[in-house]
Every structure is written in C-alpha cells, then in structure tokens.
Amino acid sequence: MSLDQASELRRLVSQGDRAAGKGKPARVLAITSGKGGVGKSNVAVNLAARLATMGRRVVLMDADLGMANADVLANVTAKANLAHVVAGRRRLDEAICEGPGGFRLVPGASGLAQMANLSEFERARMVELMRHLDASADLIIIDTGAGLSPNVLSFVLAADEAVVVTTPEPTAITDAYAMVKTISRRKECATVNLLVNMARDRAEGRRVFERINAVGRRFLGLSLRDAGCVLADPKVAHAVRQRKPFVLDDPDCPASLCITQLAHKIDRHASAPRAKGFIRRMANWLAG
C-alpha cells in the first residue's frame, strides 16, 4: 500500500470516529490460543451469550479464517459472512446475525485469503466493518484461530486485551506460553489474561496459571492476569450437539458457573480507560 493510500485510509477512519460521535470506543477482547482445540470458540460463544444476558451490547466476531464455526455453535444460519463483506459482495448488515441470548455475531469465513494478502479494496472494507462494530457495541469479542500465524496475531495485537486459552495438558501449556511470549515481544504493556479450560477442579486451574505466570515473570518480565478456569464438564459437548450455548441451556452446570464468573470479571474491568479505539489500531495495522 502506498503512503497516499495509507493516509487516505487513516482519513477515512478518523471521519468514521467523528461520525460515530462517541468518546468511548468498544472494548475488544481477542480469545486466542497456541494449541488448537482448547475450547476458544466455546468460551467465546458462551461468554458472548452470558454478557448479552447481563445487558451488554456484545458483538462476537468469528475471525477464524480457516475453520470458522461460531455460527454452528450458536445455531445461526448466516446469509453472508466476513469474506462476503470484505470482498464487497454483501453489506455488513447482511452478515450480522442475532445470536442466542441477544449478542450479535459476524460469522467467519472458511477460505478467506490471508489477511496480509488482502487487496486494497478488501482492506478498506475491513476498516469499514470495524468502524461499524466499534460504534454499536460495548464489547467486541474476537474468536481467533489457533497458533502464531499473521492472521491470528493481527487480531490479537489490535485488541485491547488477549485472553489466551489453555488446557492443563503439557502441550497446550507449552503452546500457550509461546503465544504469551510472542504477544509480549510484539506489544509492550500488553494485557494478557490466561484462562485454563477443561480443568478437573479449580486447584488444577490455579496450578496451571501459577506455572505459566511464574515462567512469564521470570523470562519475559510479564505478569499475566488470571482469568480463572472453566471446569471440564460433559454438558459442554452435550450443548455443542444441541447447538445451544451451555450457559443458556444449563446456567447452573459447572462450566456455566465458571463462564458467569469470567463474565463478571470482564465486566468489572470494563470501565478501564483505553487510549485508542480498536478501529484506529486496526487501521494503522492495515495501512502498514
């Protein structure tokens, strides 16, 4: 992208900020992980549903561009997805669906070109999309794919906070640490939360947190924020088969109680001041 194009993009974005007419940009949480299959999408969908039932305006953006599935978990059939919008084939309002509990979902796209390779037009569409989300939500939750790919990192680094999800398995712990390390190297003063999913009990969750936090402190000089744990619960798989968030299906099951606790924790931090809006950071990144 040329310098001219980059400044045009920034101009577009600042216009959007003014048009939105709000001093307080949406808070953006990126839910991510090193290893795949640790429960990011389930956490993201259930957290979105829970926060929505608490009266927050929540948008869940499925940014897994390889194997998007938040729409499947939320039992939403989308007429359009992120790829259609970015390509200019559909309007954003055609891609936003109402999810269970009242959150809004921007379904992801399987097979969208690598973000780094998007055309100039596609980049501009992406900024337009972000601008709209920023103006109409209290909280944007991004469900990313797993691993240290540029796509995942772009969203994680543009977000206000990362929630790195791990399980107690040694392989997941190692990969979570690699993700924490990458974030801390690429972004000074990053706020990184660690969530231990599928813990046998809270003590196990706590042990995993302490272990990763101790290594992070020693070698990266970074203190992780403890997002707590989500207990391993057969209700999760059951709810996936029913295509209904477990927090709505069975609000009192162990996994639901953990998500509720996490939702309150996130809500308590909601008033923390933020320097820049998400779209602004995203635009800076998009503009290279």
Ligand X SMILES: Nc1ncnc2c1ncn2[C@@H]1O[C@H](COP(=O)(O)OP(=O)(O)OP(=O)(O)O)[C@@H](O)[C@H]1O
Q: Catalog residues that contact ligand X under the rule CB under 6 A.
A: 33, 36-42, 64, 67, 145-146, 197-198, 230, 232-233, 236-237, 240, 255
Query: Among 16, 30, 33, 41, which residue interacts with Mg ion (rule: CB under 5 A)?
Result: 41
CB of 268 to ligand X, least distance (A): 22
Please identify, among the stretches 36-44, 204-212, 219-227, 248-256, the one whose residues bind Mg ion according to the rule CB under 5 A. Answer: 36-44
CB of 140 to Mg ion, least distance (A): 17
Nearer to Mg ion, 40 or 50 (CB): 40
| Angstrom distance (rounded) from CA 134 to CA 23 | 11
CB of 7 to ligand X, least distance (A): 36
- Count of C-beta atoms within a 10 Å radius of residue 51: 29
Least Cα distance to 176 among 189, 188, 162 occurs for 162
CB of 238 to ligand X, least distance (A): 9
Nearer to Mg ion, 40 or 235 (CB): 40
CB of 146 to ligand X, least distance (A): 4
Please identify, among the stretches 33-41, 78-86, 196-204, 240-248, the one whose residues bind Mg ion according to the rule CB under 5 A. Answer: 33-41
CA angle 203–214–36, rounded 5-degree value: 70
39 binds, among Mg ion, ligand X, none (CB under 5 to 8 A by kind): ligand X
Burial state string for 255-278 with b = 16 or more CB within 10 A and e = fewer than 16: bbebbbebbeebbeeeeeeeeebb
240 binds, among Mg ion, ligand X, none (CB under 5 to 8 A by kind): ligand X
37 binds, among ligand X, Mg ion, none (CB under 5 to 8 A by kind): ligand X
Nearer to Mg ion, 41 or 81 (CB): 41
β-pairing, 191-199 with 104-106?
unpaired
Nearer to ligand X, 124 or 156 (CB): 156
Please identify, among the stretches 38-46, 74-82, 96-104, 257-265, the one whose residues bind Mg ion according to the rule CB under 5 A. Answer: 38-46
Nearer to Mg ion, 154 or 213 (CB): 154
CB of 115 to ligand X, least distance (A): 17
140 binds, among Mg ion, ligand X, none (CB under 5 to 8 A by kind): none
Size of the site for Mg ion (CB under 5 A): 2
Nearer to Mg ion, 9 or 60 (CB): 60
Chain residues binding Mg ion by CB under 5 A are 40-41
